[in-house]
A and B are shown apart, each in its own frame.
Chain A
C-alpha cells in the first residue's frame, strides 16, 4: 500500500494479518475512509489477491474505477530498505522529508517489497484493474430474501452467505485445493450500518435490530479466522447515537481506527493542525497469537492528503514561535486531544 497505509500498518506493528478484521470509523464526509478503502483494494490488485467489494450507496464497479494508480516509474530512491517509519531510530531525523521519496519499482510482478506507492491524482488503468478477480455485492440490486427466523436480518444474511459462498467456491478455506499458489481474499465492506443497508442502528437511539450489525461482525470474524482472507469494514460511526453499540463493534473487530477530518470544523483553521487534514485515532490493536501487542509510542496520529500521497504520521506540534499563538493553542489542544492526559490544561511555560 501507499506509504500512508504502509505507515498505518507499521504503526500497527507490521501489517494487516490474514484472518483479521480492520474496522475504520468513517470521517464525516466519508472522504478519507473511502480513500483508505480504495488503497486497500488497489493493493489487492497489485498483489494479485482476489477482491470482494460490498456497498450500498455507490455501485462496487464505480468504486473499483476510482482505485488509485500505482506508481511504476523508476524514481531515484534514497536506498532505504524499508518504507519510512518515523518511529524507527535509523531514519533521518532532521531531513525526514527526503525519506518520503517513492522507491524504485521495476515490475509489479517481481516486486517483493511490502507495500506500494500510489498516485492519488490518477486512476488505475483498466487493464491492470481487470487482472484482479473481483466479486461484488451491491445491496440495491439484491432481491430481498426472506430469512425466516434468522437472527440476522436482510441484507446482512445474504451478504454473509455471499461471502461464505465465495470463500468456499474459490477455496480460501482450504476445502478445495487452489490451482495456483495460495491466494488471499480481500473483503471491502463499505458503510455498514448505514440506513442504506436497511439497518436502523444509525437512525435511532434504540434500534429495532440493535444486534444485527454486531452479529454480522461476529460471524464475519469467524469466517475470516477460518480462511485466507482479510476484511476492511467502514462504519459511519458519527451517525450511531448509541455509544454502547459502538463499543461492542470495536471489541468485535481486531484492529479499529477512527478518522476525524478537520474539514468543516474549527480545527481546520487552528494553527496547530495546519499541516494536517485530520486525526487518526487508534481505538484497538489486535492481540493475535500472543499475550501483548506491539505498544505504540504514542497514540496521537494525524493524516494528510497531498497531491500524490496520503500520509499518516505522529502528530507533530509546530514550534511555538509567538507567545500569543502558544497560549491559544495549548488550551485548544487540551480540548481536542481528549484521550491523552487532560490535566495539563493550565500549565503554562
Chain B
C-alpha cells in the first residue's frame, strides 16, 4: 500500500471508514496501481477479500503484492483471499466446453445478454463465508475488489446489467455486512459518442453510487516522464458539510509504490 495515499485519504489499515464504495477510474491512463494499493491495504487490515481478477492472472497480482509486502498465495491458502481467475476460466466458457458447464459465475460469457446474476451469487457466497483465522478469530469486514469492471462491456454485457450488479453488491457488501467495495472502471476519451452503451456512461452511473471517487488521467499539458499523471479525489460528504470537496494530486508510480504530491511540487520541478 502507499503511505502517501493513506495520508491523503485519511485512512490506515487499522482505522478506515466502513461501508465505503470506492470507485477508481481512469481515462487514457492506467489506474491499476491503485487496485494493488487497496489489495495490500485490506489484506493488511485483516479483512476477508473477494477479488474478481478479470483482466490479469493471479501471478501478476502476486508478484506486485510481494513488492508491496503481502503474500497473496498465503492469504489465499488461509482463506482470507478469494480470487476469481477471470482470464483463465473464460476460455472454457467462451468455447462452451463441457467441463465449464459448472461455472455459473461466468455465465455472462456464455450469454452476455443474460446479465451478471451468476457473478453476483459468487460474490455473495465468497463474502458471506466466514472462515476462521489461525488464532481462532474471524476475519474483518468483507471487501470486494474488481479489476476491471469495464471489460465486461467489451464482452457484450450491457451498462444496465452492470449497474444492477454493483447495486446488489453494494447492498450486500456495504450496507448489510458493513464491508467495503473498490471497483476499477476504464473510460473512453471524453468526446466519444456517449449515446451508446459505453464506459463513460457506466462511470457516470457508478459515481452516482459511490462514496469516494479516484480518477486518474494523464497530465493535460502532455506526456511527461517524471510525473505520470494526475489523480482527482472526490469525496461524497454526508452530514453538515454543504459541498463535496475535490482535490487534484500529481503522482509518480515506481517499482515499490507510488508517490503523490500537490500540483507543481514534483521533485523533478523543484
User: Which residues of A pack against B, CB within 8 Å?
Assistant: 148-152, 157, 160-161, 164, 206, 211, 214-215, 218-219, 221-223, 225-226, 243-244, 247-248, 251-252, 287-292, 295-299, 339-343
Contact call B196/A160, Cβ cutoff below 8 A: no
> Which residues from B are CB-within-8-Å of A252?
151, 154
> Which residues from A are CB-within-8-Å of B255?
290-292
B57, closest chain A residue (CB):
A225
Residue B248 is within 8 A (CB to CB) of chain A in the complex: no
Contact call B94/A292, Cβ cutoff below 8 A: no
A243, closest chain B residue (CB):
B192
Report the separation of the CA atoms of residues A151 and B221 in the bound assembly, to the nearest whole angstrom: 41
Binds A, one of B107-115, B118-126, B138-146: B107-115
Contact call B253/A157, Cβ cutoff below 8 A: no
Contact call B189/A248, Cβ cutoff below 8 A: no
Residue B87 is within 8 A (CB to CB) of chain A in the complex: yes
Contact call A291/B257, Cβ cutoff below 8 A: yes
Contact call A288/B60, Cβ cutoff below 8 A: yes
Q: Given A215-B155, A291-B36, answer yes or no on A161-B95 (Cβ-Cβ < 8 Å).
A: yes
Q: Given A222-B90, A222-B91, answer yes or no on A214-B155 (Cβ-Cβ < 8 Å).
A: yes
Contact call A291/B95, Cβ cutoff below 8 A: no
Residue B261 is within 8 A (CB to CB) of chain A in the complex: no
B94 to chain A, nearest CB (A): 5
A254, closest chain B residue (CB):
B56
A212, closest chain B residue (CB):
B156
B interface, size bucket: 35 or more
> Which residues from B are CB-within-8-Å of A243?
188-189, 192-193
B219 to chain A, nearest CB (A): 9
Contact call A291/B94, Cβ cutoff below 8 A: no
> Which residues from B are CB-within-8-Å of A222?
87-88, 90-91
Contact of B90 (CB < 8 Å), options: A218, A295, A342:
A218
Q: Mark B251-267, 1 if CB is under 8 A from A, else 0.
A: 00111111000000000
> Which residues from B are CB-within-8-Å of A223?
91
Report the separation of the CA atoms of residues A295 and B251 in the bound assembly, to the nearest whole angstrom: 14
Report the separation of the CA atoms of residues A114 and B45 in the bound assembly, to the nearest whole angstrom: 45
Binds A, one of B8-16, B168-176, B222-230, B237-245: B222-230
Contact call A160/B94, Cβ cutoff below 8 A: yes
Contact call B30/A150, Cβ cutoff below 8 A: no
> Which residues from B are CB-within-8-Å of A297?
225
User: Which residues of B pack against A, CB within 8 Å?
Assistant: 30, 32-33, 36, 57, 59-60, 63-64, 67, 87-88, 90-91, 94-96, 109-112, 150-151, 153-156, 186, 188-189, 192-193, 196, 198-199, 221-223, 225, 228, 253-258
B265 to chain A, nearest CB (A): 20
> Which residues from B are CB-within-8-Å of A295?
225, 228
Q: List 25 A-B contacts (CB under 8 A).
A: A148-B96, A149-B110, A150-B110, A151-B112, A151-B156, A152-B95, A160-B91, A215-B109, A222-B90, A243-B188, A244-B198, A248-B154, A251-B186, A252-B151, A289-B64, A290-B63, A290-B67, A291-B253, A291-B255, A291-B258, A292-B255, A295-B225, A295-B228, A299-B223, A343-B221
A227 to chain B, nearest CB (A): 10
Q: Given A215-B155, A243-B189, A291-B257, answer yes or no on A150-B95 (Cβ-Cβ < 8 Å).
A: yes
Q: Given A218-B154, A243-B192, answer yes or no on A291-B88 (Cβ-Cβ < 8 Å).
A: no
Contact call A157/B91, Cβ cutoff below 8 A: no
Contact of A226 (CB < 8 Å), options: B63, B88, B151, B199:
B88
> Which residues from B are CB-within-8-Å of A248?
153-154
B110, closest chain A residue (CB):
A151
> Which residues from B are CB-within-8-Å of A339?
222-223
> Which residues from B are CB-within-8-Å of A291?
33, 36, 64, 67, 253-258
A226, closest chain B residue (CB):
B88
- Across the A-B interface, give the 10 residue pairs with the lowest CB-CB distance, nearest first: A341-B222, A289-B63, A214-B154, A211-B156, A292-B253, A222-B87, A248-B154, A219-B94, A225-B57, A222-B91
> Which residues from A are CB-within-8-Å of B150?
251
Report the separation of the CA atoms of residues A111 and B247 in the bound assembly, to the nearest whole angstrom: 55
B222, closest chain A residue (CB):
A341
> Which residues from A are CB-within-8-Å of B225?
295-297
B252 to chain A, nearest CB (A): 8
Q: Given A225-B88, A244-B198, answer yes or no on A215-B110 (Cβ-Cβ < 8 Å).
A: no
Contact call A151/B228, Cβ cutoff below 8 A: no
> Which residues from B are CB-within-8-Å of A247?
188-189, 192
Contact call B60/A244, Cβ cutoff below 8 A: no
Contact of B155 (CB < 8 Å), options: A149, A218, A244:
A218
Q: Given A221-B87, A295-B225, answer yes or no on A215-B196 (Cβ-Cβ < 8 Å).
A: no
A285, closest chain B residue (CB):
B30
Contact call B90/A219, Cβ cutoff below 8 A: yes
Report the separation of the CA atoms of residues A225 and B60 in the bound assembly, to the nearest whole angstrom: 10
> Which residues from A are CB-within-8-Å of B188?
243-244, 247
